[in-house]
Amino acid sequence: MKASRIKGKTTIGVCSPSFPISATEPIRYERGIKYLENKGFMINNGLLYKKKDFYRSGAIKERAEEFNNLLYDENIQIIMTSIGGNNTNSILPYIDYEYIKKHPKIIIGFSDVTALLLAIYAKTGLVTFYGPDIASSFGELPPFVDWTFESFNSFVNGISVPYNYEMPIAWTDEFIDWSKQDRAKNQYSNQWVCVKQGTCQGRLIGGNLNTMEGFFGTEYMPVINKGDILFIEDAEKDAYTIERSFSLLKLAGVFDKVSGIILGKHEKFDDNGTGRKPYEILLEVIGDTSIPILAEFDCCHTHPMLTMPIGCEVLLDATNKKVVLMEEPLN
């Protein structure tokens, strides 16, 4: 199932399923809102705008209500999250999946929002989008925010397939205090890495790996089928943490099913003094394998961010460092 591409004036409804970013980082948040408004989008802030309940934006059912209310609003075409957090999985039992089946919308976010995106896909079959949010992404300064918007905008307006993902010329994971940032972040030379050569084609499934651990094996996690292409990324973790996370997938038999893996860049990775890259740890965990693996892909916590449709057919050519979308994600 797919939502419709946008036409004419478009309203984005913003929800906060976990962290209260509009209350804690108003400068960054409002800059993201202003950026999208300047691009012609209208913004409808959800019920928890500027609300805060300690570490979260609101109680569990309040957060679910905020999301559902945006679903019910016929004037909203896109639901975008304000930011991620740590507790989006709490709201999954209270989402109105039956309404989504009848009234699909473009739903987009990343990081902890993986829980919501994958649950909706598992329960309804709706293609969801692993992509930018208000604060983290559109609150960034040029040029990175412009590159992120270019990918997002091309998707919501409807792309033609086959669609080749172009590697951004530069990337960054430089940290600058969001309340004080007044300059563009440093640019690093970009390079996607072929870890294992080969070509495969299959359904794209995945998201933030640490978040997936919070609902893996439940009814809200899509069944990973033979031939799927697994996309995973993480941020601000260390070597021993991601070894554990990768090992969960191995023990669950995921690596025996998927036909290929796309590993996103890891923002502020701590290698625990090993000198090892995340993809080297992944390869050790998997063991002997012939499946194609492409690493350092730009759909993750770093900037810029490419938008990825969960549930669509993609072609992975790890040898030539190419990812090609083979199925239109919107009607």
- Where in the sequence is the domain holding 247, given as residue range(s)? 164-325
Asked if 111 is an active-site residue, the reply is yes
What's the pLDDT tens digit per position in 68-93? Answer: 999 999 999 999 999 999 999 999 99
Last residue within a domain, chosen from 139, 160, 181: 160
**Residues whose CB is less than 8 angstroms from the CB of residue 40 and which lie 6 or more positions away in sequence, other chains included:** 9, 10
Active-site annotation holder among 301, 303, 313, 328: 301
- Are residues 230 and 151 located together in one domain of the fold? no
How many residues are listed for the chain in this entry? Answer: 331
d(CA 295, CA 195): 7
Residue 69 lies in a domain: yes
239, 272 contact by CB (below 8 A): yes
What's the pLDDT tens digit per position in 272-287? Answer: 999 999 999 999 999 9
- Per-residue confidence (pLDDT) for residue 158, from 0 to 100: 86
Residue 122 lies in a domain: yes
Give 281's Cβ-side CA count (13 Å radius).
22
Pairing of strands 229-233, 128-130: unpaired
Residue 6 lies in a domain: no
- Are residues 197 and 126 located together in one domain of the fold? no
Residue among 15, 128, 108 nearest 69 (CA): 15
Active-site annotation holder among 18, 22, 82, 111: 111
- Are residues 212 and 70 located together in one domain of the fold? no
Q: Which two tokens stand for residue 311?
A: 């549930």
Pairing of strands 163-164, 322-325: antiparallel
Residue among 209, 187, 229, 237 nearest 316 (CA): 229
**Can the peptide bond before residue 162 be classed as cis, meaning omega within 30 degrees of 0?**
yes
**Which DSSP state fits 223?**
P
The total number of structural domains in the chain stands at: 2
Residue 330 lies in a domain: no
Phi, psi of 43, rounded to the nearest 5 degrees: -115, 130
- Per-residue confidence (pLDDT) for residue 263, from 0 to 100: 98
- Per-residue confidence (pLDDT) for residue 8, from 0 to 100: 87
- Are residues 148 and 175 located together in one domain of the fold? no
- Are residues 59 and 135 located together in one domain of the fold? yes
Active-site annotation holder among 233, 296, 313, 328: 233
Residue 239 lies in a domain: yes
Residue 93 lies in a domain: yes
Tens of pLDDT along the chain (331 residues)?
999 999 889 999 999 999 999 999 999 999 999 999 999 999 999 999 999 999 999 999 999 999 999 999 999 999 999 999 999 999 999 999 999 999 999 999 999 999 999 999 999 999 999 999 999 999 999 999 999 999 999 999 989 999 999 999 999 999 999 999 999 999 999 999 999 999 999 999 999 999 999 999 999 999 999 999 999 999 999 999 999 999 999 999 999 999 999 999 999 999 999 999 999 999 999 999 999 999 999 999 999 999 999 999 999 999 999 999 999 999 9
- Are residues 26 and 153 located together in one domain of the fold? yes
Asked if 301 is an active-site residue, the reply is yes
- Are residues 46 and 137 located together in one domain of the fold? yes
Asked if 233 is an active-site residue, the reply is yes
Last residue within a domain, chosen from 132, 160, 188: 160
What's the pLDDT tens digit per position in 107-136? Answer: 999 999 999 999 999 999 999 999 999 999
Q: What is the CATH number of the domain that holds 149?
A: 3.40.50.10740
135, 29 contact by CB (below 8 A): yes
Please report the DSSP string for 152-166 in residue order: HHHHHT---SSEEPP
